[in-house]
Amino acid sequence: MIEVKGLVKKFGEFTAVNKVDLSIKGGEIYGFLGPNGAGKTTTIRMLTGTLNPTEGDIRILDKDIRKDDIQIKSEIGVVPDEPKMYENLRGFEYVEFIMGIYKVDKTEAKKRLDEICEAFDIDFLNDYIGDYSHGMKQKLMVATVLMRKPKVIFLDEPTVGLDAKSAKILKMLIQKYRDEGSTIFLTTHILEIAEKMCDRIGIIKDGSIIAQGTMEELRSKSTQHNKSLEDIFLELTGDEEIDNIVKEL
Ligand SMILES: Nc1ncnc2c1ncn2[C@@H]1O[C@H](COP(=O)(O)OP(=O)(O)OP(=O)(O)O)[C@@H](O)[C@H]1O
Ligand SMILES: [Mg+2]
């Protein structure tokens, strides 16, 4: 579903993503973790066709992003790190706009949207998006992506801004869609989410993937085998000396 070889992104002299390889199957939740500025959003932007790679090959749904980017974009779903939407539209107008550009089966998508809106307590579709809170925009963004039921879904820190109930529902929906065959690629800083939900995890630091595998495989790379993902993450990213840092402050 997602095949990436030798992916590189340079901004001038600076290398933000450095020779990243990925191979993600159907029906898999892949968690892409890493410290701030590690290259996660830059990688997602290249995989979803909004940023051209400097080098490397990207195949999504067995299509080459350089040749079939429109086809790929029509089949994937993307929840970006910031829910940027047209502020002068009312919620329902944005939904109609998305249904129009993706040419979805309106009856089916509308039915799914109604269910998702009920689950997320979305009762503000008549209001202008410009008046929404961050969490309200995030919920509408998630709802309009999930109503299309894409085969591959990219989510960049999807729970940021969501209240506890909405975050829990989103996590359960992601798992349901995975069980129904969708491929999920998500980034999160909440390692508990990654540990509980993801089938495989990749850790990126300074643009390079430093570890990749199931929780079991990551544990076997760590010095202590019964560690939590948080401990493994901090050990692998070299950020273990937190106690000393806090003492110094
Ligand atoms: N358009 C750009 N021009 C120059 N540098 C950029 C640009 N976009 C990203 N970068 C740099 O690339 C690096 C990776 O950024 P990126 O947004 O991918 O990080 P991230 O892993 O998503 O971090 P976070 O966890 O904070 O969201 C950072 O050093 C960032 O400053
Ligand atoms: Mg980011």
Q: Are 185 and 152 in contact (CB under 8 A)?
A: yes
Residue nearest to atom 31 of ligand 1 (CA): 37
3-state secondary structure (DSSP) of residue 20? strand
- Which residue ranges have their beta carbon within 6 Å of ligand 1? 11, 16, 34, 36-42, 81
Write out the residues surrounding ion ligand 2, Cβ under 5 A: 40-41, 81
Q: Kindly report the pTM of this predicted structure.
A: 0.94
Distance CA 32, CA 188 (A): 7
Pick the CATH number of 2-248 from 3.90.950.10, 3.30.1360.120, 3.40.50.300, 3.40.50.720: 3.40.50.300
How high is the pLDDT of residue 146? 92
How high is the pLDDT of residue 245? 73
User: In terms of DSSP bridges, do strands 63-64 and 55-60 run parallel, antiparallel, or are they unpaired?
Assistant: antiparallel
Q: Each residue of 163-219: pLDDT tens digit?
A: 999 999 999 999 999 999 999 999 999 998 899 899 999 999 999 999 999 988 888
Rg, C-alpha atoms of the chain? 19
Domain extents in the chain: 2-248
